[in-house]
């Protein structure tokens, strides 16, 4: 409401009061109380808030927090596991094997298939370490087929194996783990081993015995 309009309204109301009072006084009638409503300003509230009161405001809802990513479970391409047995279980069998992986899996299978998972991995890691050392052939097949190194190699040939057997499939998974280095063996870094029932006079540093093999660096 504009200021001019409010002033004009007040003048009209005052004139009306004067007229009424004059008329009443002139006629001898008793003046009556007249209640004049107070116009509310546009947008004003009819609720009166005392100084000690507060206006209730709905609580704001917290924004949704982004899901936390665990870096330990974010290793691309590698299964996550707490034990070697769990890692072997989670490792998928490939549709086919390269010749190199056939050689590595074959050495694990024929040398240590009756031993514990740790013993099989230890054998596999020896072959991987040899191939990377520069002191032996640089391929898994070269290491396995090197003359006078593995007793199961005869006439430069590896025995046939049933690829559908559980032990072979387990050896393949251990070969994949040994090749990728996702799990260390209990004798990590060893490059030599022999059966525990023999005692060759090797001038090498003995590391430990794992199942039926003694390992050296």
Residue 78 has what pLDDT?
55
d(C-alpha 165, C-alpha 170), whole Å? 9
Predicted local confidence at residue 32, as pLDDT: 38
What are 141-178's pLDDT values in tens digits?
999 999 999 999 999 999 999 999 999 999 999 999 99
Q: What is the pLDDT of residues 56-101, one digit of tens each?
A: 333 434 433 333 333 333 334 556 789 999 999 999 999 999 999 9
* Residue 132 pLDDT greater than 60, yes or no: yes
* Mean local confidence (pLDDT), 104-115: 97
Strand 192-195 and strand 213-216: the pairing is antiparallel
Distances, alpha carbon 77 to alpha carbons 83, 90, 126, 151, 180, in Å: 18, 12, 24, 35, 11
Instruction: Give 202's contacts (C-beta < 8 A, 6+ positions apart).
Output: 192, 194, 216
């Amino acid at each position: 409401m504009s200021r001019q309009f409010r002033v004009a309204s007040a003048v009209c109301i005052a004139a009306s009061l004067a007229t009424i009072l004059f008329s009443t006084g002139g006629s001898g009638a008793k003046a009556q109380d007249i209640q004049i409503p107070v116009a509310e300003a546009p947008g004003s509230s009819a609720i009166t808030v005392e100084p000690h009161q507060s206006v209730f405001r709905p609580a704001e809802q917290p924004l949704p927090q982004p899901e936390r990513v665990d870096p330990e479970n974010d290793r691309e391409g590698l299964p996550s596991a707490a034990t070697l047995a769990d890692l072997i279980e989670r490792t998928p069998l490939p549709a086919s094997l390269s010749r190199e992986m056939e050689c590595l899996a074959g050495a694990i299978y024929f040398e240590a298939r009756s031993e514990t998972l740790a013993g099989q991995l230890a054998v596999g890691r020896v072959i991987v370490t040899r191939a990377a050392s520069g002191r032996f052939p640089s391929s898994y097949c070269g290491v396995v087929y090197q003359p006078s190194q593995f007793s199961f190699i005869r006439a430069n040939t590896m025995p046939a194996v049933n690829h559908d057997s559980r032990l072979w499939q387990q050896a393949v998974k251990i070969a994949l783990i040994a090749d990728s280095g996702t799990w260390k063996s209990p004798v990590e870094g060893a490059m030599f081993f022999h059966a525990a029932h023999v005692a060759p006079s090797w001038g090498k540093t003995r590391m430990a015995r794992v199942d039926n093999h003694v390992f050296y660096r």
